[in-house]
Structure 1
Amino acid sequence: MKSKLQKLSIEQRGILVRLLRYSLSHKKALSIAFVLLFLSTAGQIIGPILIKIFLDDYLTPRNFPYEPLLYLAIGYLGLHLLSVVFNYYQKVMFQKIALKIVQQLRIDVFSKVQRLGLKFFDKTPGGSLVSRITNDTEAIKEMFVSVMSTFVQSGVFLIGIFIGMFYLNVNLALFCLLLIPIIFTIMVMYRYFSSKYYSQMREKLSQLNAKISESLQGMTIIQVFRQEKRLRKEFAKINDDHFGAAIKNMKLDGLLLRPAVDLVWIFSLILVLYYFGMTSLTSAVEIGVLYAFINYLERFFEPVNRMMQQLSIFQQAIVAGGRVFHLLDETENAPTIQKEFQDEKNKASITDGKIEFKDVSFSYDGRNDVLKNITFTANPGETVALVGHTGSGKSSIINLLMRFYAINRGEIKIDGQPLMTYEDEELRTKMGLVLQDPFLFVGDIKQNIRLYNEDITDEDVIRAAKFVQADKFIEKLPNGYEEKVGERGSTFSSGQRQLVSFARTMAINPKILVLDEATASIDTETEELIQVALNKMRKGRTTIAIAHRLSTIQDADQILVLHQGEIVERGNHQELLAHKGLYYKMYLLQQGQVTDKVSANQ
């Protein structure tokens, strides 16, 4: 247990140090806050000494001179008033600094999530990430806002109390020093056991968020397939586990926090009274010293109790900090430009849009290849279509080309330069991507087309919308291009959302166009309109298109047929039909489906 305790202590100390580093940028404000804290504490420490002087020098001998007592009273009241003022301002400053620290931490976590690669999101539930960005940082905020200020203030106060104790009685002060390791042991024991329960609580809370997020996103499927009862059971199970961990921690709080410290306080009070009682048998005991010492002893346990009560929040924050730093330390970042090409002289630029795949193999899990020795060339201005059954590797080729994932083996080149020699900005501005499921942001139509790119003017937005024939439905909207867009564009049809995403892509005027089954969710009438736009979009651009409907890519310069991660056929539409292979069978199957639908309608 000792080794586990040491390991846990080292780990938690590292997390605490890392959290405290965020305060380094607030050195000046912290220095002022500490000065105010010391002044406030000094006022509270000197108070009992002034009472001791009054009791021993004036009350006991029944000596009441007016002027000295007036100065003593004014000094006592003045000290308390100043202490209140200093205490107020130091608390405000500490909490303001704490809020700024957590604000920066949230920005760092959110920024880190933006830089993570898709491989990370494939294995991490979205609700879990939301929990780390919101719940975990909120727990850390509580540590900075209440715990740290309490610990600092209590620590300074304890030092001041010991100074006062040594001033009154050295022997008793040395005895009280023995209380520190006892209290420290209680704290260490609490941290050791509570860290387990808090880790379980944070993990279960993360799972609750993930389950809620999944349920909200899939509400239609849940209701259609009557999955409410199953999901309620799953949610209740996680909730019960969270409740169980919370109950265990509450029992630990009830045992090791206030009750244990109160027990130590009672024993120490008995021993102090015993000491003064035994001393009184041989010599006189000053009432003022007895009062001041007992007052200091009580004040000694007051900050200890405050610290113990805050220890629960502190432990939650340390566990939450560990989860947040685990995310910040995540190495699964999105692939980016290689270091040797970050120099201005070595940066590559996309000019023609020639794409080359040479013996590219790729695996998501590092064991099973989803792409095997993919080799093809898309010359500038050509359209290369990718077809194949589900799971054949079409989308994986797109993911590698867009550099969402790093290739395992082989090489991808654009204009003769390796893909890893291009900056993200160069790739994202020269390559346009249209997905099967278009994503619209909360805002308006114009903002969704421009995406807050200041280089794109209102005229560019309208021109792009007209180019893809999205202007016909936009201009019919009550507010036109200023029409509000709800979450994911839920108030628009799938065809309208796709047209907006087409306009968004054309607004940047890309050199390379990537279409991932862009017409799959569009109705026949809209598809006819968009096919005209697609033909215009493809002119002068290298286009890589994943197609489900073979009728939409019959004019492609080259069609690659994929099966189980390999290119099994290649050629144009007529050549592949003449070959009578997999493409021919797929074409006949779709033609048969069309015939069956026509016959059914008749």
Structure 2
Amino acid sequence: MVIRRLLTYLIPHKKALTWASFILILATFADVIGPVLVKVFLDQHLVPRSFDRGALIILASSYLGLNILSAILHYYQLVSFNEIALKIVRQLRIDVFSHVQNLEFKVFDTTPAGALISRITNDTEAVKELFVGVLAAFVQNVVFMLGVFVAMFYLDVRLACFCLILLPIIIILMISYRKVSTKVYRRLRQELSHLNAKLNESVQGMNIIQALRQEKRFRREFQTISNNYYREEMVNIRLEGLFVRPAVDLIYTWALIMVLNYFGFQSLTGPIEIGVLYAFINYLDRFFEPVNMMMERLSQFQQSFVAAERVFELLDDRRVTSKGSSVDSPGISQGKIEFNDVSFSYDGDKGAKVLKSISFTAYPGQTVALVGHTGSGKSTIANLLMGFYPVTQGEILIDGVSLSRHSHQELRSKVGLVAQDPFLFAGTISNNIALARAEIREKEVREAVSFVQAEDFISRLPQGLQEPMGERGTTLSSGQRQLICFARTMAGNPQILVLDEATASVDTETEEAIQKALSKMRQGRTTIAIAHRLSTIQDADLILVLHHGEIVARGTHAELLAQEGLYYKMFILQHGGKEKE
């Protein structure tokens, strides 16, 4: 149950919650006593015209003191409840973010980034409102309503019992509103998720949108989604307009008529106390004030409840990567890689395999190159080796041990990846390079930069290694970003290198420098190099030619050229149709 799971987050804050509740009870007591003091003044002083100065000073001082005390106590209980709520939501948001970091890559393949961001930001923000604005308000109002009923029973037991009829009516109204609104709010949150997903996609691909002059088309698509969200919002507003204040005001009017009729009929048989009449009407008004507030908060509660469902749905996603046991995990020392009859499909459909019976061995210190046309399965092999996707058919071994037995900590620390699309985080160049290891000194960062020959362009930057970068390193060229990624990988001192089109984003001049760095990087390390340009892998110990997920040829550069197969045709095409020498 969602509410039960949310309440479990209160357990670490039991002491603070008890203290805040105690302050709330004191504040409620101060609020409830006020009308009783006014009743005493009316019935014992104003009506009989008994103006004892000492008694009046005591009454006035008590009334004023209670109001001041109530204001102070309400301030402290409000701050206390909100502080607890903010701590709870902070922990919930951290839990969600931590869980998302451990999800399998196929979750990100099938779920728009904007939809995930919406759950982590918008939905957790709505849950925050549940704790800050809803649960705290509900507790305060319920305690206050109980205090009002206690005061009513003190004044007139029969009329208080009669007023109890209001409770089931209000509860039925709340339950009815909750049932009707749940579906509306679920659709509302879904449309908001679509809105964020579209916005995120459009902002990231703005250069393509403008280059292809598709601004009008994307504006129409965004407008369609915005219109859907608008329609759901209007349904929500109409629902609130019907169930919230108008319905409660109608019940309040009926209750007021009932109380006035009671005192009216009582006046026919004898005198009535004006103070009691005042106090009852005052308490009735005070009783419906929190009811109105709770009904208005109920709308917020429904939005928060649906948002919490979506958050817990994400937390309950069991598609997490298998981390392996860090205790039993064998170390990676040699770097021998074996693929034994590995087949794989991203969607789990056996009829749509990306890899089909892949088998090869990369011995320690060897460079194995993967070549082939787009979609042949090269990057998938790298993804499986990195543990981004679980192996479903066949087996991958590192140093003779199944990949599933290696913990993620061991695997990711000993296998260095340089992706085709260099990804840098907002921050400094030094911080990005230091991501490779938990603890790394500036000297080691500089050594990694020197190793990949990136010190020339970094030294020309105003702040050198401390140069701040925007999101994804947009202030640098693609070649510079790739050099930093190389330095980041080498700073981790991996045993195995995975180079996924590592030089694809580098210009010819920079590539020559990187090739020298790559030669040094590969020394003593097992390297899996995915290449589009065949000139970059001619010195590989083994070249695997992939076609439609299968290895169709294997050998050295010279051997594959001699076979005059697919590799030969690719080589001829890349060299302008010139025959091999």
TM-score category (smaller protein): over 0.9
Question: Aligned with 1:143: secondary structure?
Answer: helix
Structure 1 stretch 189-198 or stretch 230-239: which is displaced more?
189-198
Of 415, 436, 459, which residue of structure 1 is paired with 2:420? 436
State the Cα distance separating 1:405 from its structure 2 match. Answer: 0.5
Of 309, 314, 317, which residue of structure 1 is paired with 2:304? 317
User: Which residues in structure 2 correspond to 1:507-586 (within 5 Å)?
Assistant: 507-586=491-570
Supply the AA of the counterpart residue of 2:404: M
**Structure 2: how far apart are the matches of 1:129 and 1:354?**
37
Question: Aligned with 2:317: secondary structure?
Answer: coil
User: Which residues in structure 2 correspond to 1:78-477 (within 5 Å)?
Assistant: 78-337=65-324, 341-342=325-326, 344=327, 346-367=328-349, 368-451=352-435, 453=437, 455-477=439-461
User: Which residues in structure 2 correspond to 1:47-66 (within 5 Å)?
Assistant: 47-66=34-53
Supply the AA of the counterpart residue of 1:423: S
Question: Aligned with 2:330: secondary structure?
Answer: coil
CA, structure 1 residues 594+120, in 2 after alignment: closer, same or farther (shift >3 Å)?
Answer: farther
State the Cα distance separating 1:250 from its structure 2 match. Answer: 0.6
State whether residues 437 and 492 of structure 2, in contact with CA within 8 Å, keep that contact through their aligned partners in structure 1.
no
Question: Aligned with 1:433: secondary structure?
Answer: strand
Question: Aligned with 1:381: secondary structure?
Answer: coil
1:42 matched residue in structure 2: 29
State whether residues 439 and 489 of structure 1, in contact with CA within 8 Å, keep that contact through their aligned partners in structure 2.
yes
Supply the AA of the counterpart residue of 2:147: G
Residues 348-380 of structure 1: CA deviation (Å, up to 9, x unaligned): 100000001111111111112111111111100
Structure 1 stretch 321-330 or stretch 53-62: which is displaced more?
53-62
State the Cα distance separating 1:55 from its structure 2 match. Answer: 2.0
Structure 1 stretch 534-543 or stretch 325-334: which is displaced more?
325-334
**Structure 2: how far apart are the matches of 1:493 and 1:109?**
34
Residues 502-522 of structure 1: CA deviation (Å, up to 9, x unaligned): 111111111000000111121
2:54 matched residue in structure 1: 67
CA, structure 1 residues 439+594, in 2 after alignment: closer, same or farther (shift >3 Å)?
Answer: farther
State whether residues 95 and 149 of structure 1, in contact with CA within 8 Å, keep that contact through their aligned partners in structure 2.
yes
CA RMSD of aligned residues (A): 1.5
Residues 196-252 of structure 1: CA deviation (Å, up to 9, x unaligned): 222222111111111111111111111111111110000000000000000111111
**Structure 1: how far apart are the matches of 2:316 and 2:128?**
20
1:489 matched residue in structure 2: 473
Supply the AA of the counterpart residue of 2:133: S
Residues 7-31 of structure 1: CA deviation (Å, up to 9, x unaligned): xxxxxxx222222221221111111
State whether residues 370 and 545 of structure 2, in contact with CA within 8 Å, keep that contact through their aligned partners in structure 1.
yes
Residues 153-211 of structure 1: CA deviation (Å, up to 9, x unaligned): 11000101111111122221112111111111111122222222222221111111111
Structure 1 stretch 167-176 or stretch 538-547: which is displaced more?
167-176
State whether residues 515 and 546 of structure 1, in contact with CA within 8 Å, keep that contact through their aligned partners in structure 2.
yes
State whether residues 335 and 405 of structure 1, in contact with CA within 8 Å, keep that contact through their aligned partners in structure 2.
no
CA, structure 1 residues 478+75, in 2 after alignment: closer, same or farther (shift >3 Å)?
Answer: closer
State whether residues 125 and 210 of structure 1, in contact with CA within 8 Å, keep that contact through their aligned partners in structure 2.
yes
How many aligned residue pairs are there? 577
State whether residues 436 and 488 of structure 2, in contact with CA within 8 Å, keep that contact through their aligned partners in structure 1.
no
**Structure 1: how far apart are the matches of 2:429 and 2:308?**
39
State whether residues 141 and 290 of structure 2, in contact with CA within 8 Å, keep that contact through their aligned partners in structure 1.
yes
State the Cα distance separating 1:594 from its structure 2 match. Answer: 7.7
State whether residues 436 and 489 of structure 2, in contact with CA within 8 Å, keep that contact through their aligned partners in structure 1.
no
State the Cα distance separating 1:61 from its structure 2 match. Answer: 2.5
Q: Stretches of 4+ moved more than 4 A in 1? A: none
Residues 409-441 of structure 1: CA deviation (Å, up to 9, x unaligned): 111110011111112121111111001111112
Unaligned runs of 5+ in 1: 1-13, 596-602
**Structure 1: how far apart are the matches of 2:386 and 2:471?**
26
State the Cα distance separating 1:267 from its structure 2 match. Answer: 0.8
Question: Aligned with 2:364: secondary structure?
Answer: coil
2:490 matched residue in structure 1: 506
Supply the AA of the counterpart residue of 2:517: A
Percent identity (aligned):
60
Question: Aligned with 1:514: secondary structure?
Answer: strand
**Structure 2: how far apart are the matches of 1:117 and 1:159?**
50
State the Cα distance separating 1:452 from its structure 2 match. Answer: 7.5
**Structure 1: how far apart are the matches of 2:71 and 2:456?**
68
**Structure 1: how far apart are the matches of 2:552 and 2:436?**
43
**Structure 2: how far apart are the matches of 1:533 and 1:313?**
58
Question: Aligned with 2:38: secondary structure?
Answer: helix
Residues 370-410 of structure 1: CA deviation (Å, up to 9, x unaligned): 11111111100011111111111111111110000101111
Question: Aligned with 1:390: secondary structure?
Answer: coil
**Structure 1: how far apart are the matches of 2:298 and 2:190?**
20
2:15 matched residue in structure 1: 28
State TM-score, norm by structure 1.
Answer: 0.93
